Structure 1
């Protein structure tokens, strides 16, 4: 495949970078993740490389891997769960995310018990969609633990996603032409709908803010009619139409979720969404 193809070019670069990490015996697995692994990358896309360590890496080991690839870091960060290194390679940025394997074990356990924290599903979808470069048995074992999609998470995602601000608030903001606050609530509402639909479809959500909308929508076998078009339209519609469009989409999602996840407690959430505190004069 021609290296003019942005996906193929980035895969080649990622594999070159991965070899430097594989040289360390403490590296249990390496995975190309994100838009490159999913075939979505364009000329503006970064490369996401996930490195799974059997123990915490030292600063010297992280630096040695970068130097072993023949490049220099443009940033280096760490927190309690992740070591992040940024590399600039042939004009493309590589974001290297390092984790110890026990962290991923914990993330998988929490998600399968119904924890809706977005980062857990981001990491799981990286495993499920990623291109394994090293440590296939380790990656395959995690993948097996993520399937089938847990019913506890389906219920939790539906209930979490549909815990929305009341429709009355959207209408109030639209009537006042308070467009900044309205669009904040519109975006929150869209994200809640998408979270609920991923849960109802028993598909792990790949991004906390639902990047690559058209691709995400194609992952959902069950969805309200014209989902992507309705989302796009409400984000550019005049205020009252935008509020009404989101309201109709939310109600359709409640109906779909009630059918697909009957164990979810949705009636109280539906009532709260439609609550009217102010009577029309």
Structure 2
């Protein structure tokens, strides 16, 4: 898949990723690897990094990671790790590769948690990497994960709607607009937009590809059920005067509540809507 963002840029980055994966695949404890992110989705442009996910059967050592970098002949610009992920930044021909390494059992756990209704964004980011990624090694391993994630879990749909629509009140937004407290107001507006988008992904039963909704126009295309002119209204909200911005967000929130009632009847949004509309000062 390529888009107007630049097919040549996408192809170039896939070729670079193939070179990197060959060095990783030389280690027999690398079970699978894929290209994720904007490159895999055909959205990459000249500024895009390459997201390369590498899945290990057991935790890699520092020597394992160094050997892969040296084997590819790339420059390493950072090396980080935490209890779940080993991250390496590589540089080749002016393009940065962000390598995310995981043990296969960690991905199994992430998928389990998502199906139990855990809304942590990282879980869905990893699932969408599996679903949208371009396998470069260990295709059978990746296909098995894809089969597990073929259906969107109803528990997650309910949780995403309830969490996303637990918003700061309309009264607070209007108060901040009247006071012209634009910094606080825009923080609340952005939180409101984030909540609406999170809820829309849940009620559409679409895995969320980015925690902060990058490539917004593309994301909108994934959502069959959404407020009219969703992205256009979000863009307008960010640049209009405070009172108008509040009206736009309130409209998006009300329409998203209505969609949630229709498409996720298992999520009781009535108390959330009541709290959003509650007025303590009259």
TM range (shorter): over 0.9
Corresponding residue for 2:208?
205
Corresponding position: 1:53 with 2:56: yes
In structure 1, C-alpha distance between the alignment counterparts of 2:212 and 2:25, rounded to whole Å: 32
Match of 1:149 among 149, 152, 174: 152
TM value normalised by structure 1? 0.98
Match of 2:253 among 250, 265, 274: 250
- In the TM superposition, residue 72 of structure 1 has moved relative to its aligned partner by 2.1
In structure 2, C-alpha distance between the alignment counterparts of 1:209 and 1:81, rounded to whole Å: 21
Q: Pairwise mapping of residues 93-132 of structure 1 onto structure 2 (< 5 A)? A: 93-132=96-135
Match of 2:16 among 13, 29, 39: 13
In structure 2, C-alpha distance between the alignment counterparts of 1:274 and 1:174, rounded to whole Å: 16
TM value normalised by structure 2? 0.97
In structure 1, C-alpha distance between the alignment counterparts of 2:74 and 2:157, rounded to whole Å: 43
Question: Unmatched 5+ residue regions in structure 1?
Answer: none
- Moved runs in structure 1, 4+ residues, more than 4 A? none
- What is the Cα-based RMSD across aligned positions, in Å? 1.1
- In the TM superposition, residue 147 of structure 1 has moved relative to its aligned partner by 1.9
Corresponding residue for 1:70?
73
In structure 2, C-alpha distance between the alignment counterparts of 1:202 and 1:10, rounded to whole Å: 30
| Residues 7 and 42, structure 2, Cα contact 8 Å, conserved in 1 | no
Corresponding residue for 1:170?
173
Q: What do the CA deviations read for 1:46-85 (whole angstroms, capped 9, x no partner)?
A: 0000000000000000000000001121000000000000
In structure 1, C-alpha distance between the alignment counterparts of 2:223 and 2:129, rounded to whole Å: 18
Corresponding residue for 1:217?
220
Aligned to 2:238, the other structure's residue is in SS state helix
Question: Unmatched 5+ residue regions in structure 2?
Answer: none
Aligned residues: 278
Distance 1:149 1:4, change over 3 A: closer
In structure 2, C-alpha distance between the alignment counterparts of 1:274 and 1:107, rounded to whole Å: 36
Q: What do the CA deviations read for 1:77-97 (whole angstroms, capped 9, x no partner)?
A: 000000000001110000000
- In the TM superposition, residue 195 of structure 1 has moved relative to its aligned partner by 0.3
Match of 2:265 among 246, 262, 266: 262
| Residues 52 and 98, structure 2, Cα contact 8 Å, conserved in 1 | yes
